[in-house]
Amino acid sequence: MQLSLFDIVPEADPAEQEREEIRSLRKELEEQNYRYYVLNAPLMSDREFDEKMHRLEALEKKHPEMFDAKSPTQHVGSDIAKQTSKKNGNFEQVAHKYPMLSLANTYSEDEIRSWLERVYKGLEGQTEMEIVCELKFDGLSISLWYEGGRLTKALTRGDGVKGDNVLSNILTIPNIPHTVAGEPQDFEIRGEVLLPWENFERINRQREEDEEPLFANPRNAASGTLKSLDPEVVRQRGLDAYLYYVLGEELTGNTHFERLNAAKKRGFHVSEAIRVCHSVEEVMDYIHYWDTERRNLPVATDGVVLKVNSLRQQEILGYTAKTPRWAIAFKFEAEKQCTRLESVSYQVGRTGRITPVANMEPVQLSGTIVKRATLNNEDFIRQLDLHEGDFVWVEKGGEIIPKITAVEPSKRGLDARPIAFIRTCPECGAPLIRYEGEADWYCSNDAGCPPQIKGKMEHFVSRKAMNIDGLGSETIDLFYEQGWLRNIADIYSLQAEQIAPLTGFGERSAERILQGIEASKEVPWPRVLFALGIRFVGETTAKKLARSFPTVDLLREASLEQLVQTEDVGEEIAKSILGWFADERNLLIVERLRQAGVQMEGEAPAEPTGNALAGLSIVISGVFQHHSRDEYKALIEQNGGKNIGSVSAKTSFILAGDNMGPAKLEKAEKLGVRLVNEDEFLQMINQ
Ligand code: IVH
């Protein structure tokens, strides 16, 4: 065969290929940095990220002509939200006194050995070298500024040059001192903010119950928490902090270890696991010990940090653009296991959402036995290309929830069939539906599917809806099992004589439940409308709808055109409302609720838009009767005021409910900040 000139494809220039790879890795790593630090939703594992970063470093070294100060190898990943994001737009940004750097890292013990050699060589003429070994905590770095002995600022790493001042949230962490005695009075201390495993699991359990997306790992949860704009939320989550680096002009001591000990004596939370090592073997022993022992720690760690102890030697070694040369992180491998998929089962959530679950041959992973893992949704199964009887790789890195990361293709049987996602509900047999643009399938039988019935009931009695205290989810389950509750209207037919004989109840609790039910009959129409649980009709939409449709009959008779005239109600919501009222069973429920005395009509209060609170900074504290805390927050803002998290001399007044926190009360008294009760407040804004 003869080749014509046109058939000869120019051979790709290998150098150009590498330059292209540099460009593409830079782009990919920047995107990952953003997903990791800002969105808290990384798409690749830490290991994969580190490998790509190492590859980019090697290529850039080979191609100095490609140097770019903006490359991800030259700067730390930024946690500062882009201007367009509201996420943490409300924190003041402050320039770091000393740049907040990252650490070089490796997964290889050999590389640790060569780093130790390199460092020793770099200290020519010095005979002694000590290495401090510490745990690498897997949270968010924080820089605390003490001025005149008081904690005045708490900055996130940000882009390494400037960070967000999240002081109001940091003040809620119990083991961070607000003031310190002794010298020096002006210094900076850095460390890691973490969410202990125990609290992480508690929060995720609650989120699971509320069908909110789970936090993938404690780091993501801690990061989301620290950037929350409400310090009260932060306090409830229960963050912790470990400190590992002291900086300042007036510090004494010649070594890192001495400085950490001095900080510990002044009341800072410094880890007990710190060791000063004098040989390579001691360093390796430390690494090996903690690779397994870390499983017994209350917080997440992802490696070990080695630091040259002498501050003089640190100075000699200096810094690169991104990392100190006197420190390195050895990162632990996420534990992985290969096991057989036995079956896929399907869970039905309270909104009818179907979650596929992989049941696997039990396998030991990071100290626990794993036999189940979520498969998220149909797309995830398809992406994995999961087949019946496949062998799958399960990982449990920094994440408590085991994840299937891949299928092992070499072990697939010849006749294995792809997993076919179910099309009918495993609880009630009804067909499943997938709404446009959503990844999840839902059971269509929302009025008759048991988990959905119970879910609707839980929503109906919840605090922001009918607020029926005595009916928790366990009680609802129990009454459902008894056959007393099949829909929300059945709640109003419950009898004290039925409930009292049940184990664990008695007359008093039966009475309490009925009182709660009775009280719910006073709940105004907009909240009742929200409580009905019509898809897409949240708290705010319900209020707006109730203003346009002051009775349930008007709402039921409304046409699509009329519905969409309501503020914030688009076609999707309107169709959902029409669909709900088109169902005979719902009409019956409405009728029964009306008969029971539930408020199915009533003017919704007009949206107050006064200026009564202009220029005032108001703290909300305690529990309220007439509105939820969120509602009060909205009322403050609608009236020109500002809701702030903690009491200071600048606080105008505290909107005080029942059971106000003693610390806030004490501070208010000390600073002479006025307390305003709920009724006074509502008068102030003419409600
Ligand atoms: S020292 C200049 N020590 O790891 C070096 N960092 O991947 C300052 N980290 O940004 C850091 N545990 O957030 C140091 N014992 C420890 C640490 C630690 C966790 C974090 C820190 C840093 C990141 C680098």
> Which domains can be identified in the chain, with CATH numbers?
14-66 (1.10.287.610), 89-331 (3.30.470.30), 336-433 (2.40.50.140), 450-596 (1.10.150.20), 617-684 (3.40.50.10190)
Q: Is 134 in the pocket of ligand 1 (CB under 6 A)?
A: yes
State which of 33, 155, 244, 323 you would mutate to test the pocket of ligand 1, scoring each by most atoms of that ligand within 8 A of its C-beta.
Answer: 244
662 pLDDT above the threshold of 90 = no
- Is residue 574 a contact partner of residue 601, using CB atoms and an 8 Å limit? no
Token readout for 612 is 């009564």
Separation CA 211–CA 636 (nearest Å)? 29
pLDDT tens digits, residue range 579-605? 999 999 999 999 999 999 999 998 766
Supply the residue whose CA is at minimum distance from atom 13 of ligand 1: 141
3 pLDDT above the threshold of 70 = no
Supply the residue whose CA is at minimum distance from atom 16 of ligand 1: 136
609 pLDDT tier (thresholds 50, 70, 90): low
Separation CA 650–CA 615 (nearest Å)? 11
Q: What percent of the chain has pLDDT over 70?
A: 94
| 137 Cα: distance to centroid of ligand 1 (angstroms) | 7
**Amino acid 1: pLDDT:** 45
Q: Is 244 in the pocket of ligand 1 (CB under 6 A)?
A: yes
Q: What is the number of other CB atoms lying within 10 angstroms of the CB of residue 672?
A: 7
Supply the residue whose CA is at minimum distance from atom 12 of ligand 1: 136
Which of 382, 151, 432 lies closest to 266 in space, CA to CA?
151
Q: Is 217 in the pocket of ligand 1 (CB under 6 A)?
A: no
Q: What percent of the chain has pLDDT over 90?
A: 64
Which of 204, 228, 215, 226 lies closest to 155 in space, CA to CA?
226
- Is residue 365 a contact partner of residue 396, using CB atoms and an 8 Å limit? yes
270 pLDDT above the threshold of 90 = yes
| 39 Cα: distance to centroid of ligand 1 (angstroms) | 21
pLDDT tens digits, residue range 533-571? 998 898 888 999 999 999 999 999 999 999 999 988 999
Supply the residue whose CA is at minimum distance from atom 2 of ligand 1: 101
Q: Is 163 in the pocket of ligand 1 (CB under 6 A)?
A: no
628 pLDDT tier (thresholds 50, 70, 90): confident
**Amino acid 83: pLDDT:** 37
89 pLDDT tier (thresholds 50, 70, 90): low
**Amino acid 176: pLDDT:** 96
Supply the residue whose CA is at minimum distance from atom 21 of ligand 1: 141
341 pLDDT above the threshold of 60 = yes
574 pLDDT tier (thresholds 50, 70, 90): very high
Q: Is 222 in the pocket of ligand 1 (CB under 6 A)?
A: no
Supply the residue whose CA is at minimum distance from atom 18 of ligand 1: 136
State which of 36, 156, 192, 325 you would mutate to test the pocket of ligand 1, scoring each by most atoms of that ligand within 8 A of its C-beta.
Answer: 192
Average pLDDT on 146-157 reads 96
**Amino acid 627: pLDDT:** 84
Q: Which residues of 312-336 are buried (b: 16+ CB within 10 A; e: fewer)?
A: ebbebbeeeebbbbbbbbbbbebbe
| 76 Cα: distance to centroid of ligand 1 (angstroms) | 12
CA terminus-to-terminus distance, the chain: 91
State which of 131, 132, 136, 299 you would mutate to test the pocket of ligand 1, scoring each by most atoms of that ligand within 8 A of its C-beta.
Answer: 136
- Is residue 628 a contact partner of residue 463, using CB atoms and an 8 Å limit? yes
Q: Is 378 in the pocket of ligand 1 (CB under 6 A)?
A: no
172 CA to centre of own chain? 17
Which of 49, 52, 56, 46 lies closest to 20 in space, CA to CA?
56
24 pLDDT above the threshold of 80 = yes
Q: Is 446 in the pocket of ligand 1 (CB under 6 A)?
A: no
125 pLDDT tier (thresholds 50, 70, 90): confident
pLDDT tens digits, residue range 387-431? 999 999 998 765 567 889 999 999 998 889 999 999 999 999 999
Average pLDDT on 132-147 reads 96
Q: Which ranges in 337-470 belong to alpha helices (H)? A: 378-384, 450-461
| 305 Cα: distance to centroid of ligand 1 (angstroms) | 7
| 136 Cα: distance to centroid of ligand 1 (angstroms) | 6
Q: What is the DSSP letter of 175?
A: T
Atom of ligand 1 nearest to the CA of 271: 15
Q: Is 366 in the pocket of ligand 1 (CB under 6 A)?
A: no
Atom of ligand 1 nearest to the CA of 157: 10
For 474, residues 6+ apart whose C-beta sits below 8 A from its C-beta are none
Separation CA 242–CA 445 (nearest Å)? 50
Q: Is 136 in the pocket of ligand 1 (CB under 6 A)?
A: yes
Mean pLDDT of the chain: 89
Average pLDDT on 207-212 reads 69
Q: Is 103 in the pocket of ligand 1 (CB under 6 A)?
A: yes
Q: What is the number of other CB atoms lying within 10 angstroms of the CB of residue 178?
A: 10
pLDDT tens digits, residue range 421-457? 999 999 999 999 998 888 899 999 988 899 999 999 9
**Amino acid 505: pLDDT:** 92
87 pLDDT above the threshold of 70 = no
275-277 and 327-331 strand pairing:
unpaired
Token readout for 438 is 């959503």
| 282 Cα: distance to centroid of ligand 1 (angstroms) | 21
Q: Is 442 in the pocket of ligand 1 (CB under 6 A)?
A: no
Q: Is 323 in the pocket of ligand 1 (CB under 6 A)?
A: no
Atom of ligand 1 nearest to the CA of 103: 24
284 pLDDT tier (thresholds 50, 70, 90): very high
246 pLDDT tier (thresholds 50, 70, 90): very high
Q: Is 133 in the pocket of ligand 1 (CB under 6 A)?
A: no
**Amino acid 398: pLDDT:** 57
Token readout for 343 is 């079956």
Q: Is 137 in the pocket of ligand 1 (CB under 6 A)?
A: yes
**Amino acid 33: pLDDT:** 86
**Amino acid 85: pLDDT:** 37
| 150 Cα: distance to centroid of ligand 1 (angstroms) | 24
Average pLDDT on 176-184 reads 94
Separation CA 651–CA 675 (nearest Å)? 11
Catalytic residue numbers read 136
- How many alpha carbons lie under 13 Å from residue 324 in its C-beta half-sphere? 20
| 154 Cα: distance to centroid of ligand 1 (angstroms) | 16
State which of 73, 97, 103 you would mutate to test the pocket of ligand 1, scoring each by most atoms of that ligand within 8 A of its C-beta.
Answer: 103
Hunting for tokens 């990071």 — which residue is that?
366
pTM: 0.61
**Amino acid 165: pLDDT:** 94
